[in-house]
Structure formats: structure tokens, C-alpha cells
Amino acid sequence: MTISNKLRSLFKSVESICVLTGAGISAESGVATFRGTDGLWAKLKPEELASFDAFLKNPDIVWEWYNHRRQIIQEVKPNPAHFALTKLETLVKDFTLATQNIDNLHFRAGSKNVLELHGNIERSYCVDCGRIVADVIVTPEKKIPHCSHCGGIIRPDVVWFGEMLPDGVFEKATNAAQRCELFFTIGTSAVVYPAAGLPLTAREHGAYIVEINMERTEISNIVNETFLGKAGEILPELISIMEQERRQAV
């Protein structure tokens, strides 16, 4: 793999890294993406499944859909890109992984400092009392789960269209982007805001921006370095180069 001298130099001494991941990294594990010609939103209208209004109108349909998605996600496994990021976290003092994905694969791979910008499909909560519910069972006979504490309807702990991000999560991601020396944007179309603004924030504060994606994106022209291809192939190789550079620098 050919990398720039600047990136090679950064690998030797960098101690603050921020990463943004999107659907592309999970697609390599078999999790279907939402955008693109073959994405889920090309087949289904998002406003029918991913909004609070839709949930109030048809909670049984929304829960059936998310239960199906949850079962698919529980069957897939983290891929080499997820594990490479877990390794990267151990190499620097300050590491933040902000993800737009709701599939829990980063945590399952062993990453620790993960900011879930759009929630986690494996969690749920009561819309009335706010209690977090870890295990929700949805069956043909019981399509709508209710809170055992107050009786309120339980919903998936994911961010739907028109909703705010979880309290404090984006602020933490922004702070990480502002202070990092090196920023990776991986498997994201760079069109979903506010997450798409994180690499721009990092760039404004002097960070070196590296993009890894299957194809060029909206921000490809402003990043410092772009690697086109599978993150599961590119990331492990980059981390290997970084480890080698750091050993030689000692």
C-alpha cells in the first residue's frame, strides 16, 4: 500500500485520533445499507418506518420491521475493519470512535470509547417513563411491547427522522474532532448531518483527514488522503504500517 509521507510521519507520533464510521463498514459484515440504488430506502419509504409519527400510527408494523432488522444484525459478525479500529484504540492515548451505525458491531468487536450518534438497535426504551430496556421480545401474539414499570409503549433506541441526537453525544464527538490530529472517515456517504460535519470540523482545526470508502463522496475533494476499496482490507494494512512506524520511531 502506498501512503503519503505526511501520513507516514503522523503514524509515528500521533496521539489523538477521531474516527467516523457509516453504513459502509457494516455492509462488509452483511448489514444492508440504507442509501444507494440497492439500499433499503430504495425499497421502503423511510417516513413509513423511521419516524415517531409512523410509530404512533402503526407501532406493530414498525416493531415487526425493527425486530426483523435486529435478528439480521444479531446473526452477522464484526469484520476485519471493526477489529482494526479496536487495535487502533490501543495505540494512542486519545481515541474516539463516532458511529452512525446502530448495529452494535463496534462494541462487539471490542471498541470501548464509542459514541453512538444514532442509537443502538439492541436497546429500547419506554416512551413514557424513559426506562432503558435491554431485552424486548416481539411475537406474532405480542407485537407491541409495553413497559413493565408504567405500561407505556416501548420503542427502539434509535434516532428516527426529525429527532434530535442523544443528549451530549454529538457534543463529545465534536470535541474529539476539534482536538484530534488525525481524523478517519470510513464507509460513510458524508451527506447525513450533523455527523457529516465532523470531518469538516476536524479539518478546520488542523487535523489530517483520511477517507476510506468504496467510492468517492461529497468530501473527497477536501480530505487530505482517500483510499478507495473495502475498509476490511485497507484498515488492517494501515494499522500494520502504523505499528511498524511506531516501532521504528522508538
- pLDDT tens column, 153-179: 999 999 998 899 998 999 999 999 999
> Which CATH entry fits the domain spanning 34-75+123-158: 3.30.420.10, 3.30.1600.10, 3.80.30.20, 1.25.40.10?
3.30.1600.10
How does the average pLDDT of the chain come out, rounded?
A: 90
The Cα–Cα gap between 95 and 187 comes to: 18
Is the whole model's pTM more than 0.85, yes or no? yes
Give the pLDDT of residue 124: 93
pLDDT band at 40 (very low <50, low <70, confident <90, very high): very low
Q: Which of 68, 82, 118, 205 does the annotation list as catalytic? A: 118
Q: Which residue in the block uniquely carries the three cell numbers 417516513?
A: 47
Domain positions in the chain are 1-31+79-118+165-250, 34-75+123-158
Give the pLDDT of residue 148: 87
Q: Which candidate, 77, 117, 126, places its Cα nearest to that of 98?
A: 117
Superfamily of domain 1-31+79-118+165-250: TPP-binding domain (3.40.50.1220)
pLDDT band at 36 (very low <50, low <70, confident <90, very high): very low
Q: Annotated catalytic, 118? A: yes
